[in-house]
Amino acid sequence: MTDIPVSHPRYASLVARERVAEGVRRGYTSTQGLIAQGRGECFDYLIGEKTTPAALQAIRAAAAMLLLAERPALSVNGNVAALASEEMVALAAALKIPLEVNLFHRSEERVSKIADLLREKGAVQVLGERPDAAVPGLDHARALATRGGIYDADVVLIPLEDGDRCEALVAMGKKVVAIDLNPLSRTARKATVSIVDNIVRAVPLLTEQVRRFSGTARADLEAMVRDYDNQRVLREAVREIQEHLEGQTEESEE
């Protein structure tokens, strides 16, 4: 990887960019993943490259929802593998559930490379190499899923997912937790809980909340889920961008 000085003001962002490029070189991230990363960077810039209060609300609701789920599932694609494989393995361990490799631009080679990477990082069970079901409403390659994983899950975490697939999972009656830096994306609009944050920051916080709530009474978790309003949180996320931008332009006028 290219050496990036830790003192660089945008160190974290540059490291993330380098990781996605490395994912492409190693063959587990698609070239389209580079474009998705660029889009993400743009929105991260707009929110101030930090976890906002709206994102934290969504992270708490997501943790409660995952803990209440009968069959939660965690989806991993090429960008997720490049940026947060260890973090996803830790989340799966905290929930004691498998990870499922689930690619938009599916190739068997990429699926097995990502599965190997996750196992290398300590994943106990990785699904997705032998899909045995199809999500209705999507064309074949995009629809593939695994029974015991995403296909029959009641709650699915989909970081950096396409809007169509998010919608198809919701249409199956699932609760969908998205991690997507763009509060206006179709994914964020369609999900049950939209975490508008960088996956690199959001997944460790989500794991921390899962651990923190693991002893919490079901009734309290249910109340947290009931009180959560995703449309309101998305409006707040947009407002946070506006406020951040107003702060920035005022600073530069001084």
Strand runs (DSSP E) across 132-220, as ranges? 133-134, 144-145, 155-159, 175-179, 193-195
Neighbours of 226 (CB within 10 A): 10
Pick the piece of the chain touching ligand ATP (CB under 6 A) from 69-77, 145-153, 174-182, 235-243: 174-182
* Beta-carbon contacts of residue 150 (< 8 Å; ≥ 6 apart): 73, 75, 100, 102, 127, 135, 156, 169
Interface residue with ligand ATP among 87, 180, 236, 240 (CB under 6 A) is: 180
Interface residue with Mg ion among 27, 48, 137, 163 (CB under 5 A) is: 163
148 makes contact with Mg ion (CB under 5 A): no
Site string for ligand ATP, 197-236 (x = CB under 6 A): -xx-------------------------------------
- Alpha carbon distance 155, 114 (integer Å): 22
* Beta-carbon contacts of residue 3 (< 8 Å; ≥ 6 apart): none
* Beta-carbon contacts of residue 164 (< 8 Å; ≥ 6 apart): 138, 142, 186
- Alpha carbon distance 239, 244 (integer Å): 8
* DSSP strand pairing (155-159 vs 99-101): unpaired
Interface residue with ligand ATP among 157, 176, 181, 221 (CB under 6 A) is: 181
Using CB under 5 A as the binding criterion, the count of chain residues that bind Mg ion stands at 2
Of residues 68 and 170, the one with the C-beta less far from ligand ATP: 170
Q: Nearest to residue 214, comparing CAs of 67, 37, 5, 96? A: 67
Binders in 185-204 for ligand ATP, by CB under 6 A: 185-187, 198-199
Interface residue with ligand ATP among 49, 116, 154, 162 (CB under 6 A) is: 162
Pick the piece of the chain touching Mg ion (CB under 5 A) from 70-78, 111-119, 157-165, 242-250: 157-165
Rounded to a whole number of angstroms, the minimum distance from the CB of residue 123 to ligand ATP is: 20
DSSP class of 193: E
Residues in touch with Mg ion (CB under 5 A): 162-163
Binding site for ligand ATP (CB under 6 A): 36-37, 39-40, 43, 83, 160, 162-163, 179-182, 185-187, 198-199
